Amino acid sequence: MTDYNLLNFNESAARVTVMKILNENERATFIVDEKLEKIVEDIADELDMEKNVMKDGNTIKITVYPSRKEEVSKSTLIDVDVEPKIAFNIIRDPTLLMAIIPQIKSVSKLGEDTYSLRIKWVISWDTPLSVQALSLKETSFTVKFSASQKLPLLKVSFGFDFLIFEVTQGKSMIKIKEWYTGPFSSLAKGEMEKHLKNAEKELPSIIAQQRT
């Protein structure tokens, strides 16, 4: 496993670099100072990943790795030409999932931050969806959609995690992670790849259309 030396990076460049590396690698080790240590730790927390910290004088090594061993997941990065808060306000509406996930046939609101999804995949079922939307700071936001349903003889859990942060003024980067636990995991992994390709294609235009 490669060690990534970030000691000569400024905070903005370090954040973008860490996100890109974790998008391409399941685990990675970063060499940082105390200032950049917090950036890496914050990203690990935002992505629900575990971290192991080793200190040697002023040099710090942080290894970041997945926290859910049984989980199947895929992720991608998307650039959009809007401020993070605009993207956040659009993405927090789960109806946009229908443009990305063809297996989601309908989205109905049940209550505050709670929805019902109609799913048609290997079998058809309805499942509650919870939405957790959080402003980390003025230029960084997370939106997490999670669903879990116990069906006859099996239990299915899945979700979508969006991390939105500013790259430069008026431009944002969105990390999308789709995760799944349950049967048919090899089939789910193939579907995730299709979903993320749909997101790369559709999400920038959806945000551009709804930004006003």
Q: What are phi and psi of 57, to 5 degrees?
A: 65, -125
- Is 82 within 8 Å of 170 (Cβ atoms)? yes
- The C-alpha atoms of residue 21 and residue 138 are separated, in whole angstroms, by 24
pLDDT band at 37 (very low <50, low <70, confident <90, very high): very high
DSSP 174-200: EEEEEEEESS-HHHHHHHHHHHHHHHH
| β-strands 72-80, 59-66 pairing | unpaired
Give the highest mean pLDDT range of 18-22, 71-75, 106-110, 125-129: 106-110
pLDDT on residue 183: 79
- The C-alpha atoms of residue 134 and residue 150 are separated, in whole angstroms, by 27
- The C-alpha atoms of residue 22 and residue 68 are separated, in whole angstroms, by 15
Q: What is the pLDDT of residues 184-206, one digit of tens each?
A: 788 888 999 999 999 999 999 99
Give the highest mean pLDDT range of 37-51, 64-78, 91-105, 180-194: 91-105
Give the range among 20-24, 175-179, 200-204 with minimum mean pLDDT.
20-24
What is the identity of the amino acid at 113?
D
Residue-range domains of the chain with CATH? 3-66 (3.30.110.40), 72-210 (3.30.530.20)
Query: Is residue 212's pLDDT more than 70?
Result: no
Average pLDDT, the chain: 88
pLDDT on residue 200: 96
pLDDT band at 1 (very low <50, low <70, confident <90, very high): low
- The C-alpha atoms of residue 133 and residue 87 are separated, in whole angstroms, by 12
